[in-house]
Structure 1
């Protein structure tokens, strides 16, 4: 199993809306590196849900339930989506500032490539953020 982080601006698609929907396809990715990361996602992989721009914090855990397929919002064959379902909210959100302050997370893409919207995480990085988000 691999671990990932996806970013969404809460005014466009929030964690609350995701939970209300119960399932979504992760669309709108128009960056080749992020697209390639979507293509690498496998059913059962765990995903951290990050609110970007407003909040700037990890708020929950999702799971991949359908692997990459053609993005239904475009006819351009270059772009794909995956289906995600919410698993659980974190006890407390983990801010970008907290992540940047944590030595073991200094090399994650969220810190090094701030504009990337879909990124891999090592299991240890994923677990550390979960630990930081638990009470």
Structure 2
């Protein structure tokens, strides 16, 4: 089992949205490095921190688990979708998604400022300047340190 952090904008998709749906696809990843992690490294059973970004309360908002491994992101083929990619070929899809299941909300938002102040997270890409990836690995030590802040 591995640990991950998935970023989302709560106005589009939040931990509450996931709680209502229980299981949802994690679509719309359009960065090759993040896509490669979804395709090659994220596996069924992995644990995921759901991180709210671009909002008033930025931080970890909940936990999910991966329940279906990478498969083609069908939104890449729909011209009306914001995730449409005219260059993606259905016989060799460019983008993938996974399915995640709601586990629980954290007792409170664990803020980015708190995480930046934690020495155990010095190697976490999230706290480093300029990191824009929407998916990133989290070590077990980092996972436990973050959830210890609840």
Within a 5 Å distance, the mapping from 1:20-35 to structure 2 comes to 20-35=20-35
The answer for the alignment partner of 1:64 in structure 2 is 66
Structure 1 residues without counterparts, runs of 5 or longer: none
Shift of 1:92: 1.8
The counterpart of 1:103, out of the listed 98, 119, 132, is: 119
Shift of 1:37: 1.4
Aligned length: 133
Q: Deviations over 1:42-72 (max 9, x none)?
A: 1000000000110211010100000000001
Shift of 1:114: 2.8
TM-score (norm 1): 0.95
* 4+ residue runs over 2 A deviation: none
TM-score (norm 2): 0.86
Answer yes or no: is 1:90 the counterpart of 2:101.
no
Question: Which of the two has higher C-alpha Rg?
Answer: 2
The answer for the alignment partner of 2:37 in structure 1 is 37
Answer yes or no: is 1:18 the counterpart of 2:18.
yes
Q: Deviations over 1:8-39 (max 9, x none)?
A: 00101011111111111001100011111111
Question: Equivalents in 2 of 1:132, 1:38: separation in Å?
Answer: 27
How large is the Cα RMSD of the aligned pairs? 0.9
